[in-house]
Amino acid sequence: MPKKSRGATRRLKKVTPVPLMQMISGFWASKTLASAVELDLFTKLSGRHADVHQLSQLLGIHPRPAEMLLSACTALGLLGKRDKRFSNSSLSEEYLVKGKPCYFGGVVTLLDRRLYLPWNRLLEALRTNRAQTWEDHSDIFEQISSNLDKQRLFTEGMHSFSVQSGKALAAAFDFSQYTQLLDVGGASGAYCIEAVRRYLDLRAVVFDLPTALEITQEKIAESGFSDRIITCPGNFFTEELPKGSDVILLSMILHDWDPERNLMILHKCFNALPSGGTVIISELMMDDNKAGPVSAALMSLNMLIETEAGRNYSWAEYTEWLEKTGFKKIERIAMESPGANGILVGYKS
């Protein structure tokens, strides 16, 4: 057999198990981050430098585990270290300090407390096609709304998640030609807050279950936009959507349900819009061949853990539903955010 040239040998990429090790140990990093947030490490360290002994006292833990946690956070890029003293990295200072406008710790806590143990039962979910975060047969949001502590954990977590996605959406889509945005299942109101912040003539309505809206009203008041954002209680399965808005947003809503229910929701959006109105679907979109991206594919598995019939759908599937509902001139707009990689826009003629 002819020998391979030296150049061809160099071009062969060696396969190693390192990527597998990175995958299987991924929870080490997530639990490190979640534990640091739970201990309030980044808030306590904000604007200062401290050594292991000082931080062990601040955190209320023994110096041995304190040093291990600090080393791990430094290796993960969450802390910086100089002359035996630690400080927040720019990432942590911006997103993990409580009270800052872009605080992301809420979603860290939500995923850790609500999803870490249920994901340990992924094999059970795969074998049974059953959700793992709740036991009865009510839907996920009825289950959350029945407990005030669960409702606050969920809504606060989604707010941390949605602020960044709301900023990305407001930058990716031009709301300047619209007068009022209706956010269906709008949770904390983060998308409406970011939209009216950027577009000074826009008004907004958050439509959600009454228990969720109690927290929404707090967030709207804190934002200073109570004069431009209102809330409207309701259930989009049992009630019609309120009219009067010329653009409707469905952000991370349709991945919770099966195609039949999603078509029902889209029909209600169509009926609520005036002629010339617009609907926006914002999601982690699967590629049309459903081979990725990773964020959407893993979120889809999360819908197996969380819901009875949800999944992440492809651009093509959403497009088909929009056209079937009656929307025209469907547009795909890519964007980058924690909660969505793109939006689909449909117009009512």
Cα distances from 291 to residues 177, 287, 295, 306, in angstroms, run 36, 6, 11, 22
SS3 of residue 131 by DSSP: coil
Give which of 125, 152, 98, 116 is closest to 34, Cα–Cα. 116
Cα distances from 84 to residues 53, 59, 70, 133, in angstroms, run 10, 17, 11, 42
Say if CB 308 and CB 334 are below 8 A apart. no
Q: What is the DSSP string of 47-103?
A: T--B-HHHHHHHHTS-HHHHHHHHHHHHHTTSEEEETTEEEE-HHHHHHSSTTSTT-
Q: Which of 53, 62, 137, 255 is catalytic?
A: 255
**3-state SS, one letter per residue, for 203-217:** EEEEEECHHHHHHHH
What's the rounded Cα separation, in Å, for the pair 199 and 181?
11
Q: Catalytic site residue 53?
A: no
Active site residues: 255
